[in-house]
Amino acid sequence: MTLHPSPILNSFLDTDAYKLHMQQAVFHHYYDVDVTAKFRCRGDELLGSYAEAITAQIALMSQLSLSDDEFAYLSTLPFFTADYLQWLRHFRFNPQQVTVSNHHGKLDIRIRGPWREVILWEVPLLAVISEVVHRSRTPDVSAVHAVAKLRRTLEQFRERSQGIDLSHFKLMDFGTRRRFSRDVQHEIVSVLQQEFPYLIGTSNYDLARRLVLTPVGTQAHEWFQAHQQLGATLANSQRAALHAWLVEYPDQLGIALTDCITMDAFLRDFDLDFANAYQGLRHDSGDPIDWGEKTIAHYQRLGIDPMSKTLVFSDNLHLEKTLTLYRHFSQRINLVFGIGTRLTCDIPGVTPLNIVIKLVECNGRPVAKLSDSPGKTICHDAAFISALRKAFDLPRIRKAS
C-alpha cells in the first residue's frame, strides 16, 4: 500500500439517498441521540488484512464536503429543508468516530457518535471497503468487463421477456454499498440509462446529479432500530418510527421498510391510517412471493385497492428474478425493482462481498434487527432479543448472529 493513497471517494454525494433523507429526520427530531454501529461480513472472508488500507481511506474522507454545485442541486429537490442543508454544508466526516482493527484475521469496525453524524458513514464506508478489497484481489478487472457482462445480461433479459408486456416494469440502481468500484457503478448506470428504457432512478445522489436521474430511497433498518430505545414502550417502537417519518415527510418519500421486526409484526402495526399515508412497502428479506401476497391481502382487508400502492423489491435481486416477480404481481399492484450487487459487482471472476454496517446500540442500549431471513438477524444481546420477541409476540425463535 502506498504511503499516500489517492481517495476512492471524491464526492460528498457519493452515497445512497436514504442516508440523507434519514439524516434530515434525525437532525430535526433526534439531534442529541448517540449510537454505535458495527461492521459485519456475512460471509467467511477474512478481511482483516485490509484494515490499514481502509483506515487510510477513512482519514481521507475527512476532506469530503458538500460543494457549491452539490448544495445547489440538493436545494432544488422537494425533500430537503433550508436549515438542514445549511447545516450539511458544514458537515465533515470525523475519522475519530471509527475504529478499525484486524481481529484474528477478521475485519472489525465500530462507529460511535451522534446519530446525526454516524448515519452518513455506512454507505460510503462499505463502498470503500468493497473497492479496497477488489482492487487487491482482481486488479486487472475494469469497468469494461462489467459493461460487457451487463450487455450480455440485458440481451438475456430481452430474450426471456419476449411476449411480456413490460409497460409497467421499473428498475432502480441500488448498487452503491457493495459495488466493485466507483467507476464500475458509473458505467453500469450510464449504460442502463442509454440502453434499458425501464431504468427510473438511482439511489446514489452523486450519480443522480451527474446523469440527471431521479434519486430514490426512503428509510433503512436503523430508523426502526433506533426507535427501540427512543420511546416509552418497546412494543410501540415500530409505530413510533412510522409516525415520526410521516411527521418529517407527510406526503413524500412514503415507502416503508417492513422487515426490521419481521413482516408479520410489521403488518400488525401497519393499520389503516399508516396504510393510507404511505405510498407502499419495501421488501428486503424472506420469500418475496409470500411477502407480496401478504401485503396485497393486508391492503384488501383494510379496504384499500392494491393498485393504488407500490411494492419495492430489493433483496438479492437480479434481472431474471425480477421477471418472475413481475409476471406474478404486475396485474395486481404497482412494482419497482431495486437491484444492487447484481448490477454493480456482477463481473466474471469477481466474488462480491456480503458486508453490512448496522446499528447495535442507541443511547448506550442495545437495538436489534430480526429480519425474515435468519441469516440477516443482528443483535448480540440475548436478553434484548427475548424482550423484543415478547413485545412483538414473535411466534418462533430466530437465531441471533
Q: What is the dihedral of CA 208, 209, 212, 217, to 10 degrees?
A: 30
Asked if residues 35 and 26 have their Cβ atoms less than 8 Å apart, the reply is no
Q: Which residues contact 329 (CB under 8 A, 6 or more apart)?
A: 292, 296, 311, 335
Asked if residues 27 and 116 have their Cβ atoms less than 8 Å apart, the reply is yes
Helix, strand, coil percentages (3-state) for the chain, rounded to 5, are 45, 15, 40
DSSP state of 106: E
Chain segment 152-207, per-residue pLDDT in tens:
999 999 999 999 999 999 999 999 999 999 999 999 999 999 999 999 999 999 99
CA proximity to 299, closest of 323, 329, 325, 324 = 329
Asked if residues 47 and 236 have their Cβ atoms less than 8 Å apart, the reply is no
Characterize the bridge pairing of strands 355-362 and 334-339: unpaired
All 3 cell numbers of residue 332?
395486481
Amino acid at residue number 226 = A
Q: Which residues contact 338 (CB under 8 A, 6 or more apart)?
A: 171, 172, 173, 174, 203, 216, 282, 312, 313, 314, 317
CA proximity to 134, closest of 201, 173, 206, 183 = 183
**pLDDT tens, position by position, for the chain (401 residues)?**
445 689 999 999 999 999 999 999 999 999 999 999 999 998 878 999 999 999 999 999 999 999 999 999 999 999 999 999 999 999 999 999 999 999 999 999 999 999 999 999 999 999 999 999 999 999 999 999 999 999 999 999 999 999 999 999 999 999 999 999 999 999 999 999 999 999 999 999 999 999 999 999 999 999 999 999 998 899 999 999 999 999 999 999 999 999 999 999 999 999 999 999 999 999 999 999 999 999 999 999 999 999 999 999 999 999 999 999 999 999 999 999 999 999 999 999 999 999 999 999 999 999 999 877 766 667 778 899 999 999 999 865 544 43
Strand order in the sheet with 255-257: 199-202, 171-173, 334-339, 310-313, 280-283, 255-257
All 3 cell numbers of residue 56?
487510510
Cell 427475548 belongs to which residue?
A: 386
Using the Cα atoms of residue 320, residue 17, residue 119 and residue 261 in order, give the sign of their dihedral: negative
Q: What is the CA radius of gyration of the chain?
A: 20
Give Cα 246 distance to the centre of its chain.
19
Asked if residues 171 and 192 have their Cβ atoms less than 8 Å apart, the reply is yes
- Beta strands in 175-245, from DSSP E residues, in sequence order: 199-202
Asked if residues 107 and 41 have their Cβ atoms less than 8 Å apart, the reply is yes
Asked if residues 199 and 214 have their Cβ atoms less than 8 Å apart, the reply is no
